[in-house]
Structure formats: C-alpha cells, structure tokens
Amino acid sequence: MLVNGVWTQQGYDMRKTGGAFVRSETTFRRWITADGSSGFRAEPGRYHLFVSLACPWASRVVIVRKLKKLQDAISMSTVYWGDEGWFGAGGDSFPETVKGSIRLHQVYTAARPSYTGRVTVPVLWDHKQRTIVNNDSAKILRMLNGEFDAFGDPTVDFYPEELRPEIDRLNAFVYENVNDGVYRAGFATSQWAYEEAFERLFAALDELEARLARSRYLVGDRITEADWRLFTTLVRFDLVYYAHFKCNRRRLVDYGNLWAYTRDLYQVHGVAETVDLDHIKRHYYVSQDWINPTRIVPKGPEIDFAAPHGRDRIYPAPQSVLCERRTDDRRHRDRKRHP
C-alpha cells in the first residue's frame, strides 16, 4: 500500500479484527456525467481504464465495457501483480498522460501525491484533468452503463429503472456473502472467522441455486448488472476459491442451476474473450504466497464453460438476452418477466 505517497510492503493487519478480513473502502468516488454537470463530461478518448483480468472486481467492468461497445470510446490496459503491486507489462501499458509510470501506485500518486491507502483495480483515469476519477468497480459499472450512451450501444441497459430496487437488494446480498465472502474465507487468519464466512457463503449459494430454479437470470429473464457481479466470482470458484480459499463444501459444478447459469453467461457473445482462465489461476496461486507459500500452480481442474447449458430450453430467451432499454415504460412493466 501507499503511505503518504510512499510505497510500503504492508499487508492487512487482522489481529485487530480477530482474524477476520475487512476490505478497505475505495477512496476515489467522483462521477462522470453525460452533460458534464459533475465536472467530468463523458467524452470519447478522454478516459482510460486500468484493469486486471485476474481480479473479479475489474473483470465485471471489462465485461460491461465490451457489451456496451465502448472499446473505441474508453481505452484500457491490463496490469499484473508484482513486488510493488500492480504493474504494466510493456511500454504501451500506460497512456501518455502518465508516461514514466510502470506501476499502478505511480498513477495513484500522480492523481494524489500524498495518497495513503490500498492500490486497487479497476481505476478510471481522466487524461484531461490527469487524475483518477473513480476506483470503485460498482460506480464505474453504473457510469459505463448510462453516461456513455452517445458513444456506445444505448439499447443495452444493465440497470433499468423499474428493476433497480431488486438489483440493489441482490447486489448487496451477493457482495456481502459471495463476492467478498470467498475472500473473507480465504484471507481469514482465525478458525472462527473462516467458518463464519464459509457458512454464510454456502447458505447464500444455496439460496441463489433455488432462485435460479425459478428464473433464467437473477432478475427474471433479462441479464442485469447483478448477473455480471455474481458471474465473475462464480467463473473463478472451482479454479481457485474451492481449493485455494478453502471454500470446499461443494464445487460450482455440483450446483445444477448455478453451474448452468454460469455457462449461460459465459456464452454471451464477447464474454469468453474477457475471461483468461490460466491467468486467473496463476495469479491467485503465485501472488498470494501467504496462503500458498510454495507458489505451485495446480494443473486442474478441467472445466468446460462452453458446454451446452440448456437454460434457453427451460427459460426461453427474449429477442435479446441483454437488458434492452425501453421507451414505453408501461409496456415494459406489463411484460411478463418469468417465463
């Protein structure tokens, strides 16, 4: 982490929490708006994303950027984990406005020279003001979904207004028990903290399994941001969380609905290109040496995300599996959500 702008090798001190992992809050929370009223106007070519394909938080941003067709509007570079946190792999990993930087913590100090805190991905950088706009994946998702419609695909909406209360409720449930739950199990340094996270994780997976027996996606028959937020954890589950994080009561493939649902989302056009299974596995087992001190990367398991999922036969898809914007709100409200 950075302390007053200086990189230090300082991990999480979980003695204060009884061995429980408590995630740090993100610190850059500014907002991009289509009209620029926030001080940051949505403009093509102005913003840059720093992401890691190993990180589930960054990966959901990568997916939404791709499905909203914002590749030409918002540039992106991939970073990797090293001795000083996230770093760029080549000379073109960092845009001109932060040239000379080869590590992500240098981007943080370019934005705030005396920054103290964790250096995390994703990061949304503004070339014009030469600063970090936001480093909270949930907030970045919302901006990509709605504020850049003039430069991407405005027909795709992963956060439709009439579904927002249910999406928000599901996001909170999934974040607390699944997204962060696997980390609280894997990073725990006491038995009670591990077991508490473990039990909550599998209780939540059981509840989601039952929910997906009633509908194709988390909120009926349309993909929303709630699905992408869950997907990036599920696609990593058997690869790393089951063994590496000791989340080993059941594998994802042991859940009939959750496993088919994950394959269904993976097979949405363009999504598989954002999932680097080998890189994900290598990152976790090599970089987290306090959990895996030998840094040996297991050869298995073999998982076929491209296998037929059958969800379309049980719950027929609408004309588009993506959540499309509707101009006729009344017609949309009346549309049957559960086939």
Crossing angle for the helix pair 225-236 and 256-266, nearest 10 degrees?
A: 110
φ/ψ bin of 138: left (φ > 0), alpha (ψ from -120 to 50), beta (otherwise): alpha
Q: Which two tokens stand for residue 155?
A: 């027909």
Cα→Cα distances 173→247, 274, 279, Å: 18, 25, 28
* Residue 55 bears catalytic tag: yes
Q: How far is CA 290 from the centre of its chain?
A: 23
**Catalytic residue selected from 47, 55, 247, 266:** 55
Distance CA 176, CA 170 (A): 10
Are the beta carbons of 278 and 228 closer than 8 angstroms? no
Provide the CA 116 distance to its chain's centre, in angstroms.
23
Other beta carbons within 10 Å of 317: 16
- 183 as an active site residue: the answer is yes
List 12, 175, 183, 315, catalytic entry: 183
- Compute the distance between CA of residue 233 and CA of residue 261 in angstroms, rounded to an integer: 13
Active site positions, annotated: 55, 183
